[in-house]
Amino acid sequence: MKIFTTIADVQAQPRGKLRVLVPTMGALHKAHGELIRIARAAAGKDGEVAVSIFVNPLQFESGGDYERYPRPEKPDEEFCRKAGVDFLFCPSPAEMYAEDRSVFVEEFSLSKALEGKSRPGHFRGVCTVVAKLFNILAPDAAVFGEKDFQQLAVVRRMVRDLNFKIEIIAVPTMREDDGLACSSRNRYLNLKERKQAAVLYKALRAAANASGKLAGDLVARARKVIGEAPLARIDYVELVDAETLQPVEMAGPGSVLVLAVFFGKTRLIDNIRLG
Ligand code: PAF
């Protein structure tokens, strides 16, 4: 596995092979392993799988968890090696951002709902870093997890509107045995919080299995299940259209139930398609 920390070194590499990128912020776990597996399948044995590890300061709101975000560099490197990654890019913040940077990439529609309301500036940070990674690594395809449902929609919109010639491959959410969506942030949960966090998937499934279709009823049902966990504090539970991310009144083809819930200081997100 080749490891690069500078943009100049990446861009000095000869190209020719199909390259599939898995952008990450590190603290790699089995869901990243799945993204890498899908990337390998897309790249084929002659292509190359590139992983970027960069904890992007721009996408953390002030007072957020940027400083405490886990950075297990050596274990992450080992994880990539074992997963058969060809090319690892782990730049420093100074390598990625000039001190006097003054250009950002912002999506102005899909970004405004849901996460965008709770985390102003978050998607501007995501779009800016993903656009930079696309320019630096010039992949033919890039792989993103469906757990970050809104991120996926925003990145797809950016690719469309800025004409990146990059295929975006979506990978279904990987879950722990009790249904909790795998996330690097799960490691912040203490034992009690971790146990109660299983309620999130239970709530999504309760709504998905409901016989009614009215958004109000489905959201109420999910909220009731989440209410069973005394440590849970709901940020939002909404039924939205998967493409526009606008609220819908009825579950149907293309609707998705999305939620964000705090356990202590840790904010977890998840979603399920309905209809
Ligand atoms: O999903 C993530 O890990 C990050 O938002 C991403 C896409 C790597 C950009 O920093």
Mean pLDDT of 133-158: 98
Identify the burial level of 3 via C-beta atoms within 10 angstroms of its C-beta, where 0-12 means exposed, 13-18 middle and 19 or more buried.
Answer: middle
Question: Where are the chain's structural domains?
Answer: 2-171, 184-274
Q: Is the CB of 129 under 6 A from ligand 1?
A: yes
CATH class of 2-171: alpha beta
Side chain identity at residue 185, one-letter code: R
Sign of CA dihedral 36, 3, 153, 138: negative
Owner of token pair 């993103």: 144
Q: For residue 189, what are the CA distances in angstroms to 194, 204, 262, 264, 266?
A: 5, 20, 10, 8, 7
What are the pLDDT digits (tens) for 245-266? 999 999 999 999 999 999 999 9
- Give pLDDT, residue 145: 98
Residue 23: how many CB atoms within 10 A of its CB? 23
Work out the percent of the chain whose per-residue pLDDT is above 70: 100
Q: Say which CATH architecture domain 184-274 belongs to.
A: 2-Layer Sandwich (3.30)
The model's confidence at residue 236, banded by pLDDT at 50, 70 and 90, is: very high
Which residues face 2 on adjacent strands? 87
What are the pLDDT digits (tens) for 68-78? 999 999 999 99
Buried b (16+ CB within 10 A) or exposed e, 28-63: beebbbbbbbbbbebbeeebbbbbbbbbbebbbeee
- Give pLDDT, residue 275: 75
- What the block records as the tokens of 240 is 């939205």
Buried b (16+ CB within 10 A) or exposed e, 228-251: ebebbeebebbbbebeebeebeeb
Q: Is the pLDDT score of 220 beyond 90?
A: yes
Mean pLDDT of 8-18: 95
Q: Is the CB of 25 under 6 A from ligand 1?
A: yes
Active site (catalytic) residues: 32
Out of 89, 130, 149, mutate this one to test ligand 1's pocket (max ligand atoms within 8 Å of CB): namely 130
Out of 36, 126, 173, mutate this one to test ligand 1's pocket (max ligand atoms within 8 Å of CB): namely 126
CA distance 201 to 175: 9
Radius of gyration for the alpha carbons in the chain, expressed in angstroms and rounded: 19
Q: Is the CB of 126 under 6 A from ligand 1?
A: yes
Identify the residue whose C-alpha is closest to ligand 1 atom 6.
24
Q: How many angstroms is it from 216 CA to the middle of ligand 1?
A: 31
Q: Is the CB of 23 under 6 A from ligand 1?
A: yes
- The pTM score is 0.97
Q: How many angstroms is it from 25 CA to the middle of ligand 1?
A: 6
Identify the residue whose C-alpha is closest to ligand 1 atom 5.
126
Q: How many angstroms is it from 145 CA to the middle of ligand 1?
A: 10
Q: Is the CB of 56 under 6 A from ligand 1?
A: yes
What are the pLDDT digits (tens) for 221-232? 999 999 999 999
CA distance 189 to 134: 33
